[in-house]
Amino acid sequence: MTFSLIQQIAVGFIIAALLLGFIRLLIGPDAANRVISADTMSVTVTAALVVFAAYFESALFLDVALVYGAIAFIGVIAIARAIKGDSA
């Protein structure tokens, strides 16, 4: 099992997106930028899980990606509300 050219390009873009998101996470001027960066990185990890599913030909990674994406979305919403100060 080796990566095809398309999969190698996809992995390269995913690594680049994670690195850029991590840099933004470190140097973000305020908390809102850091939350957006964390959300971007979670979406990128979800994409990486989909690429792994294609590589290993396993639907299990797709299930994990779906659950991870849902939990990451709920987490970002909770953090955004905590930053904003909403209690509802």
Check whether 88 has a pLDDT greater than 90.
no
- What single DSSP character describes residue 85? T
Give 33-73 pLDDT, tens digit per residue.
Answer: 999 999 999 999 999 999 999 889 999 999 999 999 999 99
Map out the domains of the chain as residue ranges. 5-84
CB atoms near residue 79 (< 10 Å): 16
Residue 28 or 12, more confident: 12
Q: 5-84 has which fold?
A: Helix Hairpins (1.10.287)
Q: What is the pTM of this model?
A: 0.85
How confident is the model over 13-41, as a mean pLDDT?
93
CA dihedral 59, 52, 78, 19 (to 10 degrees): -170
User: Two tokens at 61?
Assistant: 């990674």
